[in-house]
Structure 1
Amino acid sequence: MDAFLEELTTGLPDEAQMTRIIIRLTAAALLGAVVGIQRERMGKSAGVRTHMLVALGTALFVITSLESGMTPSDLSRVIQGIAAGIGFIGAGAILKLTQEREITGLTTAAGIWMTAAVGVAVGLGRWGSAALGVILTWIILSIVGQLTHRMEKRQETKSEDQNKSE
């Protein structure tokens, strides 16, 4: 029984470290939720839970690497692995609709990739960078998205008017 308890408690951080870890993981999940809420409002498949888990997971990879005492070059390889691995998740969100000759899901994939970057930043304790990244992501997805949608509708209307006049 002693060996079992020792195994469970080996490597537990002290109280200050545990508090820092809890704060970083919670912050990563909450920042991921901000992006996820915007995507869910737009009816996209990758919503709140997906973005929260991506941010939380990437933060956990970084935090555990830091806590284990990895060198900066080793940590760099962990982050490179995260960036590449997240690409596979994003690729799953991209669909090519052959009949319409249209590709969908690129923005969702980019949002997942961005959320992973936010998780890495929070895991490294770079709060300002993470928050700024989320703010800019939200602006791009919401405001820029609305502007481009309006521009596309205007272009479609112009094309329809030209086709009617011909």
Structure 2
Amino acid sequence: MPFLTDTLADLFAPPQTMNMASASMRLVLASVLGALIGWEREAHARAAGLRTHMLISLAAAMFTLIAMELTHFPAEDSQSLRIDPLRLIEAVTAGVAFLAAGSIIISGGNVRGITTGASMWLAGAIGLACGSGDGMLAVTGTALALIILWAIRQLIHPRDTPDDT
């Protein structure tokens, strides 16, 4: 039985260029930061909320980790393995843009969901930053997004003060 479990473990083992604890922390950070933006969207009853933003950010981080691991596969010659991190960014951006476009609704002359689409796109970027190990960039982007989403809403829709009469 140990032979079978060892064989299965070897078969599904990652290339091990990064330890699992580090990869897990990057995924958790991506999920938490995506949740912060998603919470703001959810609190204001927008189409894409908490879970959607968490999943987008988590997926982008996973794609980044996978791509980083794939760049360390041994190749017979240097020409057979082409490493281009911009392809990863393009792929994630295109996939998230597809989801974001689905959140935009045009009805008559009204357009709704553009900010939600943009926040989904940003969640993808935050996931890419987390996956690549740039947690400070991801935290900064999340903080700025929350400030923008909150501050602009306060400027456009200030809370009405109750009448004193």
TM-score, reference length from structure 2: 0.81
* 1:90 paired to 2:106: no
Count of aligned residue pairs for this structure pair:
149
Specify the code of the residue in structure 2 equivalent to 1:64: I
Unaligned runs of 5+ in 1: 154-166
- Deviations 1:98-154, CA, capped at 9 Å, x for gaps: 2xx11000000000000100000000100111000000000111111221234xx9x
Query: 1:109-128 maps to which residues of 2 (within 5 A)?
Result: 109-128=117-136
Q: Counterparts of 2:91 and 2:48 in 1: how far apart (Å)?
A: 21
The CA deviation at 1:6 is 2.5
Bigger proportion of residues as helix: 1
1:140 aligned to 2:148? yes
State the match for 1:32 in structure 2.
34
The CA RMSD measured in Å over matched residues stands at 2.3
CA shift for structure 1 position 8: 4.3
Bigger drift between 129-138 and 70-79 goes to 70-79
Which residue matches 1:9?
10
Matches of 2:27 and 2:126, distance apart in 1: 11
Distance 1:37-1:50 versus aligned 2 partners, 3 A rule: same
User: For residue 78 of structure 1, what is the aligned residue in structure 2?
Assistant: 88
Q: Residue 5 of structure 1: CA displacement?
A: 5.2
Give the alignment's TM-score, normalised by structure 1: 0.81
Specify the code of the residue in structure 1 equivalent to 2:87: R
Query: What percentage of residue pairs aligned between the two structures are identical?
Result: 34
**Which residue of structure 2 lines up, in the alignment, with residue 107 of structure 1?**
115
In the alignment, residue 29 of structure 2 is paired with which amino acid?
A
**Structure 2: stretches of 5+ with no match in the other structure:** 73-80, 161-165
Is the Cα contact below 8 Å between 2:58 and 2:127 reproduced in 1? yes
TM-superposed CA distance for 1:72, in Å, is 8.5
The letter of the residue matching 2:90 is Q
